[in-house]
Structure 1
Amino acid sequence: MMLFVPPGLALDASSSAYKDKVLALGTKAQENALGFLNAYGSSAVAGGTALKALRQLHKQCKRDEQIAQFHELVDSDGVVDPTPPSAFPTFVRRRPSK
């Protein structure tokens, strides 16, 4: 879901509004993910079905642009997240080949 968060993500785990912010970002990321799937003709809505469709698109290299954009955001501090990089899936940690 990190690939679908809007730019400007800045989470501070010590903030009192941390949980509310995570929930709001999760909702926005879900909307973005479903919109992405819809753009590729998938009508997936349920979590498992959406994940399966996203995996299929990843195998077809349809998500490389999103992964590259995510890396650009992280590199430019457009995304600040307390999650350690080791917690991300391998395909997010690794930069796509161009």
Structure 2
Amino acid sequence: MNELARLVVTQPEARFQLMDVELVPGLRDQAPMAASVASRWADTPHEVVQGEPPSALGRLARIRFKVWIELPRGAKPAGALVAEHFSCDAKPTR
């Protein structure tokens, strides 16, 4: 448990934000997921695509999102990732 606690507090923090979602409705009973989707439906930008060929469960046609990951000082992003540096008013505590 001590090792697990140490690993948890040393991991970078992240934030995920949905920008836009394009959904194609399904035909089958989707009750198990309906409550989960409905709980965020009003505050998630989305478009329901009409005129697509039907499927049992529907499909996610397109999704746009942003992810912010707090990297340790000196870390370099790999590949096409871009690091955005900004100052923070918070002071570290010890």
Structure in which a larger fraction of residues adopt helix: 1
TM over 0.5: no
* Shorter-chain TM band: under 0.3
TM-score, structure 2 as length reference: 0.23
TM-score, structure 1 as length reference: 0.22
Structure in which a larger fraction of residues adopt strand: 2
